[in-house]
């Protein structure tokens, strides 16, 4: 997967970052100043208007969109205090002068960062911030901020002599990090997942999904205001549930083209509920994740408010589309995490995403299945090491039954499937999986390792194989 290792590489913010960060911030500020002037007669009601703008600055700083967030926040706070000073000394200025100066300053700071924030890697040398150092002396990590991740870009962070240099707005930043390590000999910087991971974004999306149901419940409760409170509650809850079930059972058409149609000429190795695995070449397999309606999407053993069979096909209930897409999102999050942590967790095989193929990826081919014949003598020690490496990375890995463990030519275990979760995510994930999937009888540790989890179902466990040996 390496190509042109001798070609220079330039890392700089993308134009997409410029429009999402400084330009969109400017639009937000225009809207906020408009609201303040309309609702609070700013600057006459100076305290309320200033407090509103300072609150926005605090929230914006907390979200930390890019390395210039602190500068942008300072500009907003400075604009507030200039307005206060002018008002205190009764200095009359045009109403929109300060907002225009603030927006101009935000755009200029964004342009400066966009044009002058560059890193050049060429012939084993990394050039950044007037430094020119050997690439082997620089370590690199990737980070995806919540908002940036939604729009498809993230950060590249370079570490040199206990200092770090952050470049925001890098498209496909995880793959760029891989290229810098493989092709230009930068060192993988030790990364640890945050406790919450995607938990905050998940909770926000959950609130958005449930908000129509809450609004419907409130509407019906107000509509039946002439009834006694117990009847109001009964009618509003019953009608809300009935309407919700009807909406969740509305059928949506699947995409017409089989996403794996161009792979059917390859050897099919395995198939799953939403995945097909093909032999790409002697070193790699290609895995295609299916959208709802393709593959054998059988949800009959899942708890979902579906009328009739819970099977996906040409037409799919909204409830199953939501469930399926949620699983796809976390599958891909797991794939991106494999790419980040494969340098620090020995049991993770090399993984490569494919540009232009959102739900397709390549993975190192590990030929030997885990069975009595191939089982390493030191398998316990390997799992203990894996558990330690997961702990240092702040991660759990689940769905590790024997079929998801394979053995390479050196007798080392490789986990060819299973999702990676942070400490916070795993709490919600366990609750959801145990509560929704009737096929499972709970979860248990693999070989006593706390961070390696298997689902208790019909599939053979690593523990069972070890007992047979």
Both tokens of 445, joined, read: 């540790």
Per the listing, tokens 């069979």 go with: 309
Which stretch of DSSP H or E encloses residue 232? helix 229-248
Q: State the pLDDT at residue 355.
A: 81
SS3 226: coil
Note whether 462 and 401 are within 8 A (CB): yes
**Closest CA relative to residue 397, chosen from 414, 410, 375, 374:** 414
Q: Residue 203: which pLDDT band, with cuts at 50, 70 and 90?
A: confident
- pLDDT tens-digit map of 320-334: 999 999 889 888 889
- Domain end (from 248, 272, 288): 248
Q: Does one domain contain both 151 and 198? A: no
Which stretch of DSSP H or E encloses residue 207? helix 199-223
**Closest CA relative to residue 371, chosen from 417, 419, 413, 418:** 413
Per the listing, tokens 């993988």 go with: 188
**What count of other Cβ atoms lies within 10 Å of the Cβ of residue 160?**
15
Which stretch of DSSP H or E encloses residue 351? strand 351-354
Q: Tell me the angle at which helices 46-63 and 69-88 cross, rounded to the nearest 10 degrees.
A: 170
Note whether 140 and 181 are within 8 A (CB): yes
Separation between Cα atoms, residue 272 and residue 85, nearest integer Å: 66
Both tokens of 257, joined, read: 């083209």
Q: Does one domain contain both 437 and 414? A: yes
Q: Does one domain contain both 172 and 218? A: no
- Domain end (from 365, 396, 425): 365
| DSSP assignment letter at 408 | -
Which stretch of DSSP H or E encloses residue 286? strand 284-289
Q: Does one domain contain both 7 and 146? A: yes
Q: Is the pLDDT of residue 3 over 70?
A: no
Contacts of 55 (CB under 8 A, 6+ apart): none
Q: Does one domain contain both 233 and 334? A: no
- pLDDT tens-digit map of 366-418: 989 999 999 999 999 999 999 999 999 999 999 999 999 999 999 999 999 99
CATH code at position 297: 3.30.200
Q: Does one domain contain both 58 and 152? A: yes
Contacts of 420 (CB under 8 A, 6+ apart): 333, 334, 337, 338, 341, 395, 396, 397
**What count of other Cβ atoms lies within 10 Å of the Cβ of residue 57?**
19
Q: Does one domain contain both 308 and 437? A: no
- pLDDT tens-digit map of 92-133: 788 788 899 999 999 999 999 999 999 999 989 999 877 899
- Domain membership of residue 226 as a residue range: 192-248
Q: Which carries the bigger pLDDT value, residue 42 or residue 269?
A: 269
Separation between Cα atoms, residue 117 and residue 138, nearest integer Å: 17
CATH code at position 419: 1.10.510
- Domain end (from 189, 208, 231): 189
Q: Does one domain contain both 382 and 459? A: yes
Q: Residue 42: which pLDDT band, with cuts at 50, 70 and 90?
A: low
Q: Does one domain contain both 226 and 260? A: no
Q: Based on the structure, what is the number of domains in the chain?
A: 4
CA 72 to chain centre: 25
* Average of per-residue pLDDT values in the chain: 90
pTM of the prediction?
0.85
DSSP string, 24-67: HHHHHHHHHHHHHHHHSTTTTTHHHHHHHHHHHHHHHHHH--ST
In this structure, the strands spanning 368-369 and 405-407 are antiparallel
Q: Is the pLDDT of residue 39 over 70?
A: no
CA 149 to chain centre: 7
Q: Does one domain contain both 59 and 164? A: yes
Q: Does one domain contain both 172 and 199? A: no
Q: Does one domain contain both 210 and 74? A: no
Per the listing, tokens 């993308």 go with: 14
Long-range contacts of 144-149 (CB under 8 A, 24+ apart): 144/173, 144/174, 144/336, 145/63, 145/64, 145/65, 145/66, 146/63, 146/198, 146/200, 146/201, 147/20, 147/63, 147/65, 148/17, 148/20, 148/65, 148/66
């Amino acid at each position: 997967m390496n190509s042109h290792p001798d070609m220079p590489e330039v890392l700089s913010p993308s134009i997409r970052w410029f429009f999402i960060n400084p330009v969109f911030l400017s639009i937000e500020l225009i809207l906020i100043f408009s609201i303040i002037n309309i609702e609070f007669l700013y600057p006459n009601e100076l305290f309320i208007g200033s407090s509103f703008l300072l609150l926005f600055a605090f929230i914006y700083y907390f979200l930390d969109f890019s390395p210039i967030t602190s500068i942008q926040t300072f500009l907003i706070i400075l604009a507030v205090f200039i307005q206060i000073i002018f008002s205190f000394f009764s200095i009359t200025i045009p109403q929109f002068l300060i907002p225009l100066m603030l927006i101009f300053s935000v755009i200029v700071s964004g342009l400066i960062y966009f044009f002058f924030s560059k890193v050049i890697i060429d012939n084993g040398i990394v050039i950044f911030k007037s430094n020119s150092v050997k690439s082997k002396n620089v370590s690199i990590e990737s980070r995806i901020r919540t908002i940036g991740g939604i729009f498809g870009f993230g950060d590249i962070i370079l570490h040199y002599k206990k200092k770090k240099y952050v470049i925001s707005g890098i498209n496909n930043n995880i793959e760029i990090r891989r290229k810098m390590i493989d092709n230009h000999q930068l060192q993988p910087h030790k990364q640890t997942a945050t406790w919450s991971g995607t938990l905050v974004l998940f909770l926000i999306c959950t609130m958005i999904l449930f908000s129509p149901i809450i609004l419907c419940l409130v509407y019906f409760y107000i509509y039946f205001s002439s009834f006694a409170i117990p009847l109001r509650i009964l009618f509003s809850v019953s009608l809300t549930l009935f309407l919700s079930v009807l909406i969740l059972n509305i059928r949506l058409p699947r995409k017409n083209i089989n996403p794996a149609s161009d792979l059917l000429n390859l050897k099919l190795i395995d198939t799953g509920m939403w995945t097909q695995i093909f032999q790409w070449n002697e070193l790699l397999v290609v895995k295609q994740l299916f959208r709802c309606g393709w593959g054998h999407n059988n949800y009959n053993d899942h708890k979902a408010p579906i009328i009739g069979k819970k099977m996906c096909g040409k037409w799919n209930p909204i409830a199953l589309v939501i469930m399926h897409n949620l699983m796809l999102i976390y599958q891909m999050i797991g794939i991106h995490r494999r790419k980040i942590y494969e340098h620090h967790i020995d049991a993770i095989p090399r993984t490569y995403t494919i540009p232009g193929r959102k739900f397709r990826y390549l993975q190192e081919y590990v030929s030997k299945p885990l069975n009595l014949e191939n089982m390493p003598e030191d398998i316990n020690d390997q799992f203990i090491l894996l558990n330690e490496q997961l702990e240092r990375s702040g991660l759990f890995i689940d769905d590790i039954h024997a079929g998801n463990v394979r053995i390479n030519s050196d007798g080392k275990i490789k986990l060819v499937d299973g999702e990676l979760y942070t400490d916070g995510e795993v709490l919600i994930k366990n609750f959801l999986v145990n509560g929704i999937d009737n096929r499972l009888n709970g979860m248990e540790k693999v070989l006593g390792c706390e961070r390696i989890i298997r689902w208790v179902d019909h599939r053979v466990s690593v523990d069972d194989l070890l007992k047979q040996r």
